[in-house]
Structure 1
């Protein structure tokens, strides 16, 4: 067995353990610590230390060893916890994470950081419990020394490895791993308890480190071999009657399990054992999942082509009935397959939200504020690719709320608010989208202050702007209302990147705020970027796709509802709201399209928090399309976000609402002809 084959698995498991450790540390009540939480933190450190020692990651092993010792004193009540001690433990966790990344990248860990955190932890031990911690060792100590064994076993230790509530499939795999670590003398038992007697120079930590990649730590029990202790031991005695007897200490000596008090032991025994972590799941490379998704996408396109071909056939209902039935079945199965495969990439928002307790804690500490973080909808699922890309924008929004939104405790108290501000992160599904909100109960946004700052920065603003348009000013490059630059914010960078990144994911940002009461920043994203629910439209001889999530309604415009504005803009009046008009045929130079706006269909769409009226020739219908990245396969095209392949094999472009509006304004600057009509065609705008 090449132990390097397990490196990637160890790195993934250690990442999860470090994340669990951080979560428990953040949730820990230092005044009344939960024993189960302390044990969970200790077990995480213990497992990482064992794995690091097995793979020869000595710096990580030594760091974790010292932290583990301190945690052991804490869970035994010998170390009284305080907030500053928890901060140090979190710092140690961060350094362990950096060390893990270094080993993953085949680099040497930061020696200075290692020495600093070890010195800090040792100083805590000296100050708080009056002793230095046990010096970390380069490798785990053997379970039994050779001189303690009879002469015929002088070169080996003998352990009983019990597998608790492990399926037969996993049991076979585990026994194979044990055979690589030592000499399996005997094995017997059932699914509830299966025991293996192992001879070899291997420690309990080494065994646990390897086996915990397959099952949970609580499913492993490792003890020194004892007389009559197990069925496996009895088998060895019977099979070895003609040979020297197996050495048997007077009583089984536990090697692995950490001590717990009687109350905790009783509670633990009352709980059902956790099922094996890997028994019902497998680890699959994301590249393989993406390949399957691409193949399913091609299958959907092929199914659409066949469906189009069948619909173009002459009406021969009798002879083609079986073909029609077969196509209906294929369509249904293809859709089910598509949804099943897409669900593989879906990840709960908990993976995103789990990092923010630490962000809020650290940022609030720097700002001297008291913040309560509440998360809602953690089980809401989002495509993995979007989960990875939404984390940074969300971090900017959270830090912005903490710095600019929520007031200082004394100021809140003077305003009659609780000293502790509240920040809420929530996620929920809304139609074909996911809605992520960052809400705070802080000062809210000051409309007049934002307008004044915008004018100071030379932005084109007016008092007639809606509140939503004013609030969107915070996303302008270089825009900041901070009175002083800090290490949290104030440089005017970040928020424009937030908006750009979210738009790059096919989403939009909306802001609702009330002065003195708080702000709600809302992110609307598609559930996935691989599949899109779209509205097919026709302009001239071309077919385009509008994202269905942006479409609000459609109507037939009349001449009396269209008005000319200053700057050669045209707006459509819809229920007392004036919407900018975008003629797709003009913006994208489509020939043979309807040029009379009153003969077109106006599709009301929404983008960047604004509504637009897009003029099209015909609405074809709704359909689900497979998104193809246009920039990767061709180049970036203004006004176009992506492309797809239709049932007849032709390519249809997926429209970018805000991009089309910008492109429309550029084209209108060229002359006085608007939407192929002279300005005199339209009524003058009514006074607002």
Structure 2
């Protein structure tokens, strides 16, 4: 039976990339604490990647990881100390492996950037004389030494008896793959025992009836041999012993001589005593079953797998890892839903008015079950923000070294969960904020000491839930941001007019305008006037906001507020004439009765509402969306005061309706993008309602006022 191994590649890539993240995190921890358990964790991750890559015949990855594993083994045994140079080399290797895996995943070759690192490993491991071999791996050097060892008749070899359980093929494990890994250690001979194979009529093609006797000529230790079989050690009988080469040859010759006069069945057994090299070269990888990739038994991987085409790159798949407790909860809720549906179905078969109370009770249960089911499904997409935070320590380490600064990174709230879609898009904004804090915020050690601070600066990442949002704080104890410098720079760039009074928070927000930078020296870290505007735009696209608080000489705090999910919104329904719109509940400040006595007009004939000594522009949604039916009354109705990006606007509406959670549908996907509209939803009566974007509406108000002023001028 032929199996296309590419359908298992995605799981391997996901597991391997997660393993590299683990290696990187533990290597960073290793600099602070040379704990042996950290080294063991790094070694296990590297070994899993090596085994998986060998399984799928990604030879460059497996060879390079084998070299990496050799160094880690020395560190694990205490034969090599943990130094900054060694950690730097291992971190470079992690980056190299990540690049190799990404290229292979995209259908390209692994590349050759790893050859330089292999030379460095060989020199570090005492192989300077072999460093000119053009990137030969330690495994290849071992094969060259093997040729010389064959002349030594007193050399020992490994004798392995491998008797798998009949169901081993059903678990996805292919013995030939294990033999291929053994062959990487030295010359290997395989003898298959067919004595337990049943007659053809009784043969089950999915069961394994063969056992094997193997002879491996290699100097590796027993632990390395056992590691090859570690994934199947509970599914087989395994005997490993060591004998001399001379004894093995005498035994083999005697065995062949005694078999010469045996039955035809014995001849069949003898014919399988062949060199594994021939078998492996003639066997197509597409006809092999994969070795199962080790997975966490407490987790469940849900995967949407697309079809694969032989002459094209494998299609990418989207997957998330879900705790088994969440899946169990979902199954329980589906069971409750089935019971409720069965009860309502029975009522419908023979309904009468005497059963109206049962019907109401059943519908109430249905509503509750549906709501709980919705919440459980949404929780499946929720992942700890630690997946994003854990990418940053490496960057902080590298950049602090590059900038000559001492920085301690403190991470809090890494277990706080948010939607996977939000998490995927928050990575770049966080990276920009952290780089900005490292370059602009935290001072050089001598500057900090002169100002009475410790030489080491502190950068803190914190995440927590607040209401229906997740709040992410990026704070530092650096020199802070001086509003006067920001103000002067904004005047020089023409962003504001000199003399205009602005509150400090609005002045600080100017640093997030496109092209704004206060860096005196352009570097490859920051100072090109790009980055902060990207932060603002990306966060706005997620329906969030970013605020800045800073005190000169004390530090700066960037606060990001994001919705927990992009699929569900807590909304306030409003009626404008005959139309119903949805306002995000978190954007609403208050609602006040509309009164002409509180209304003023400024240049450009823009109506404004005075609220607490602040003048707020008024938007009439009838005019903005060209609703043909007029509002109920000119002098009646409400003003809904809403806020986005620290800007307040007042929306003229007829009526506040109920609050409810709405499912967001992309308007851009089904129609086109509209300024002031973030999406649409379907109401309970089947009507489509637009979800208003406060930031977009605020921009529309500003543009309308500008057009009116220009027309008057």
For 2:212, the equivalent position in structure 1 comes to 199
Map of 2:440 onto structure 1: 404
User: Could you list the per-position Cα deviations for residues 436-482 of structure 1 after superposition, in whole angstroms to 9, with x for gaps in the alignment?
Assistant: 11111111111011111111111125542122211111111111111
Cα deviation per residue 1:263-314 (whole Å; 9 max; x = unaligned)?
A: xxxxxxxxxxxx9723552332376899xxxxxxxxxxxxxxxxxxxxxxxx
Q: Distance in 1 between matches of 2:58 and 2:295?
A: 27
Q: Does 1:639 align with 2:676?
A: yes
The question of whether the paired residues in 2 share the 8 Å contact of 1:550 and 1:605 is answered with yes
Query: Is 2:42 the partner of 1:41?
Result: yes
Q: Take 1:289 and 1:364, find their aligned partners in 2: how far apart are those partners?
A: 33
Normalization by structure 2: what TM-score? 0.72
Give CA-to-partner distance per residue, 1:330-376, whole Å, 9 cap, x none: 22111111111111111110111110001111111111111111111
CA contact (8 A) 1:536 1:546 kept: yes
1:282 pairs, out of 288, 298, 301, with 301
How many residues align? The count is 573
Gap regions ≥5 residues in structure 1: 148-153, 163-170, 187-195, 228-242, 245-274, 291-315, 679-688
Distance 1:620 1:460, change over 3 A: same
Matched, 1:92 2:107: no
> Which of 486, 493, 498 is matched with 2:535 structurally?
498
Find 1:414's aligned residue among 430, 450, 454. Answer: 450
Q: Distance in 1 between matches of 2:36 and 2:384?
A: 28
Structure 1 contact 509–609 (Cα < 8 Å) conserved: no
Which residue matches 1:50? 51
Name 2:313's counterpart in structure 1: none
Contact 1:51 1:209 in 2 (8 A): no
Describe how 1:185-264 pairs up with structure 2 within 5 A.
199=212, 224-225=239-240
Partners of 1:414 and 1:222 lie apart in 2 by 69
Q: Does 1:108 align with 2:109?
A: yes
Cα deviation 1:640-659 (Å, max 9, x = unaligned): 11001111111100001111
Residue in 2 aligned with 1:472? Answer: 509
What is the distance in 2 between the residues matched to 1:220 and 1:408? 59
| Equivalent pair of 1:603/1:615 in contact (CA under 8 Å) | yes
- Alpha-carbon shift at residue 593 of structure 1 (Å): 3.9
Distance change in 2, residues 1:156/1:39 (3 Å): closer
- 1:374 aligns with one of 400, 407, 410: 410
Give the distance between the partners of 1:597 and 1:414, measured in 2 at CA: 65
Quote the residue 2:185 is aligned against.
Answer: none
Question: For residues 597 and 504 of structure 1, what CA distance do their matches in structure 2 show?
Answer: 35
Mapping of 1:537-616 within 5 angstroms?
A: 537-594=574-631, 599-616=636-653
Q: 1:287 to 1:118 in 2, by over 3 A?
A: closer
Structure 1 residue aligned with 2:495: 459
1:604 touches 1:612 (CA, 8 Å); kept in 2? yes
TM-superposed CA distance for 1:560, in Å, is 4.3
Give the match for residue 475 of structure 2. 439
- Aligned to 2:527, the other structure's residue is in SS state coil
Q: What residue is the counterpart of 2:362 in the other structure?
A: 326
Q: 1:222 to 1:515 in 2, by over 3 A?
A: farther
**Residues 466 and 220 of structure 1, relative CA distance in 2, 3 Å threshold:** farther
Is the CA contact 1:79–1:129 (under 8 Å) kept in the aligned structure 2?
Answer: no
Distance 1:658 1:279, change over 3 A: closer
Change (3 A) 1:211 1:621: farther
Check the 8 A contact 1:587/1:667 in 2, yes or no: no
Tell me, in whole angstroms, the C-alpha distance in 1 between the residues paired with 2:44 and 2:136.
Answer: 18
- Indicate the larger mover: 130-139 or 529-538: 130-139
User: What is the rounded CA distance, in whole Å, between the counterparts of 1:336 and 1:202 in structure 2?
Assistant: 59
Give yes or no for contact 2:40–2:76 (8 Å, CA) kept in 1. Answer: yes
Deviations 1:387-422 (A, max 9, x none): 111101110111011111111111111111111111
Cα pair 2:320 2:381 within 8 Å, conserved: yes
1:61-82 CA deviation, whole Å, 9 max, x = no partner? Answer: 2221222111122222222222
Q: Deviations over 1:177-219 (max 9, x none)?
A: 4465587999xxxxxxxxx99636599979967975xx9x9x8
- Counterpart CA distance in 1 for 2:548 and 2:606 is 26
Tell me the SS of whatever aligns to 1:389: helix
2: distance between equivalents of 1:23 and 1:366? 19
Structure-1 separation of matches of 2:237 and 2:505 = 63
Describe the superposition over 1:310-336 as per-residue Cα deviations: whole angstroms up to 9, x where unpaired. xxxxxx997754443333222211111
Contact preservation (8 Å) 1:160, 1:222: yes
CA distance in 2, matches of 1:117, 1:279: 36
Tell me the residue number matched to 1:685: none
Q: 2:422 aligns with which of 367, 386, 394?
A: 386
Assess, with a 3 A threshold, how the Cα gap between structure 1 residues 633 and 289 changes in structure 2: closer, same or farther: farther
2:565 and 2:42 mapped to 1: Cα distance? 35
Residues 1:173 and 1:211: Cα distance change in structure 2 (over 3 Å): farther
Q: Distance in 2 between matches of 1:156 and 1:175?
A: 27
8 A contact 1:53–1:139 mirrored in 2? no
Tell me how far 1:424 sits from its aligned partner.
0.9
SS of the residue aligned with 1:137? helix
Aligned residue number for residue 19 of structure 2: 17
- Taking the aligned partners of 2:421 and 2:211, their CA distance within structure 1 comes to 45
Aligned to 1:271: none
Q: Which residue of 1 is the match for residue 377 of structure 2?
A: 341
Distance 2:18 2:169 in 1: 22
Q: Distance in 1 between matches of 2:395 and 2:228?
A: 31
Report the Cα offset of residue 140 of structure 1.
11
C-alpha distance in 2 between matches for 1:26 and 1:569:
57
Partner residue in 2 for 1:121: 121
Conservation of the 8 A alpha-carbon contact between 1:349 and 1:381 = yes
Distance 1:202 1:613 in 2: 83
* CA spacing shift, 1:75–1:205, aligned 2, 3 Å: closer
Deviation at residue 110 of structure 1 after TM alignment: 2.2
TM-aligned CA distance change 1:319 to 1:554, over 3 Å: farther
1:409·1:419 contact (CA, 8 Å) conserved in 2? yes
Q: Are the aligned partners of 1:160 and 1:225 in contact in 2 as well (CA < 8 Å)?
A: no
Name stretches of at least 5 consecutive residues in structure 2 with no aligned partner: 151-156, 179-191, 197-208, 217-222, 243-264, 267-293, 305-316, 322-351
1:653 aligns with 2:690: yes
Tell me if structure 2 keeps the 8 A contact 1:485–1:491: yes
Pick aligned residue for 2:139 from 114, 137, 148 = 137
Question: Following the alignment from structure 2 to structure 1, what is the Cα–Cα distance between the partners of residues 503 and 225?
Answer: 65
Question: How far apart in 1 are the matches of 2:138 and 2:130?
Answer: 18
Say if 1:479 and 1:492, in contact at 8 Å, map to a contact too.
yes
Whole-angstrom CA distance in 2 between matches of 1:351 and 1:447: 34
Pair 1:158-2:161 in alignment: yes
Task: Say if 1:50 and 1:208, in contact at 8 Å, map to a contact too.
Answer: no
Q: Is 2:397 aligned against 1:361?
A: yes
Asked if the contact 1:557–1:597 (Cα under 8 Å) also holds between the matched residues in 2, the reply is: no
Give the drift of 1:561: 3.5
The separation in 1 between residues aligned to 2:175 and 2:131, in whole angstroms, is 40
Root-mean-square deviation over aligned CA pairs: 3.9
